[in-house]
Amino acid sequence: MRQKQNRASKWLMMVSCIMLLLVVGSGAVGAQAPPDDAMNFQPGDMFAYSLRMEDSGGVREGRLSIWASETDAGHLHLLLSGDFAGINFTTAAQGPVDDPMALFSNLGYAASQDLPYDPEQFVQFLFMVTWAFITFDDTILQVGFDDTVTTPHGGQFNVAVPGQATVGGMEGYAVELSVADEPSVIEVLYNPDLPLPVRGAITDEGFHIEASLKEYAKNRTAPDIPLPPRAHWQGVLHELVYHLQSAGLEIGEVRPHDIRMMDATAALSVTIDGHSPPAELYAFDPETTAESTLERVRAAADSGQMLIPEMSMEIPVVVHDQLMLSSVDYFGGDHHPNKDAIVESFLSF
């Protein structure tokens, strides 16, 4: 297992480095940042992939389906479901249509929390590769292109476009990426009109991983699939954020937040009315949260203070059923300038 994880981590890190290089621009690669439509899914989009991994442990196969829909807040919602090596998995993430970094970050967090290790790597790979390719200029996506790009730190990788191909009924540019002095090769069938690759593969010494599109469709309704508790409550917190916004509060950056200090099921940090630090929203699943944590939440509902045993301290909070609001009261007696309106809206959710 450790060897498999190290190999998967190696190629994922390779993709990460190439993505970074493409985003910042180097050599023949455009220097623009990813545009606002980098995650250009449309509500109703559906992608179905076959997954395959082969290494010294043998061959493992599976499938991955991705549905895009629109939330009441006008956000893009992605539902991911499938199975790999006999293990089923599901997760979901959402974010503003015009903020691809937020959606990418939320999706990466969801995958890391809810998916088994190997499916998580497939998801990271599919989304990272396409985002990187958006920064290619027109001179690269031409059949016959073959050039070595030198990074600012002296590293090199080669980009080659030997031709075009069709997989799953969708055509794309066959792009090969390789790093100097490394046996790894990334192969991508890239269609500029799609938010995900038609095919993506990594080949290394004794290791091969591949995701191939089996079906792409528009105007599909996402199925009603039960979500893991974290993904479900993260969605509830996003609905809460929309509720706060509907009450007239100005919502800025919304990001996944660390759940460990509160022992919560899900958490978001939310910038409200441009004020820092951001407010914190937590959710506690009554079925899976430890009873000792639920007891502290119930006590906090009465006292307005959440006990953090590991730190031997209490934090000011507001509790509403399974939800908790924090970071609107600060140490020293100060508070968020619009605290009353935030608390009122929170308690009316």
Over residues 277-307, the pLDDT tens digits come to 999 999 999 999 999 999 999 999 999 999 9
State which of 217, 240, 271 marks the end of a domain.
217
Q: Are residues 28 and 101 in the same domain?
A: yes
The structural domain count of the chain equals 2
Domain of residue 288 covers: 229-347
Structure confidence at residue 127 (pLDDT): 85
87-95: strand order across its sheet: 87-95, 76-84, 58-70, 46-55, 207-217, 199-204, 185-190, 170-179, 156-167, 146-150
Q: Are residues 85 and 193 in the same domain?
A: yes
Flag whether 204 is in a domain.
Answer: yes
Q: Is the dihedral of CA 169, 170, 176, 182 positive or negative?
A: negative
CATH of the domain at 294: 3.40.1000
- Residue 275 makes CB contacts below 8 A (sequence gap 6+) with 336, 337, 338
User: Taking the model in full, what pTM does it have?
Assistant: 0.85
Q: Are residues 70 and 182 in the same domain?
A: yes
Structure confidence at residue 17 (pLDDT): 55
Structure confidence at residue 82 (pLDDT): 97
State which of 189, 217, 245 marks the end of a domain.
217
Report residue 227 as tokens: 């979500």
For residue 339, CA distances in Å to 18, 297, 317 come to 44, 21, 12
Flag whether 177 is in a domain.
Answer: yes
Flag whether 223 is in a domain.
Answer: no
Rounded CA-CA distance 189/198 in Å is 5
Rounded CA-CA distance 243/331 in Å is 27
Structure confidence at residue 224 (pLDDT): 93
Structure confidence at residue 178 (pLDDT): 83
Flag whether 222 is in a domain.
Answer: no
Question: How many C-beta atoms lie closer than 10 Å to residue 153's C-beta?
Answer: 7
Structure confidence at residue 78 (pLDDT): 95
State which of 192, 217, 242 marks the end of a domain.
217
Backbone φ and ψ for 268, nearest 5 degrees, come out as -135, 145
pLDDT, tens digit only, all 349 positions of the chain:
334 444 555 555 555 555 554 444 433 333 344 445 567 899 999 999 999 999 888 999 999 999 999 988 888 999 999 999 999 999 999 988 777 778 888 998 999 999 998 999 899 888 887 766 665 666 777 899 898 866 555 667 788 999 999 998 999 999 998 876 777 788 999 998 888 999 999 888 888 999 999 999 999 999 999 999 999 999 999 999 999 999 999 999 999 999 999 999 999 999 999 998 999 999 999 999 999 999 999 999 999 999 998 888 999 999 999 999 999 988 777 899 999 999 999 999 9
Over residues 205-229, the pLDDT tens digits come to 888 999 999 999 999 999 999 999 9
CATH of the domain at 208: 2.50.20
- Helix ranges (H only) for 174-319 are 229-246, 291-303
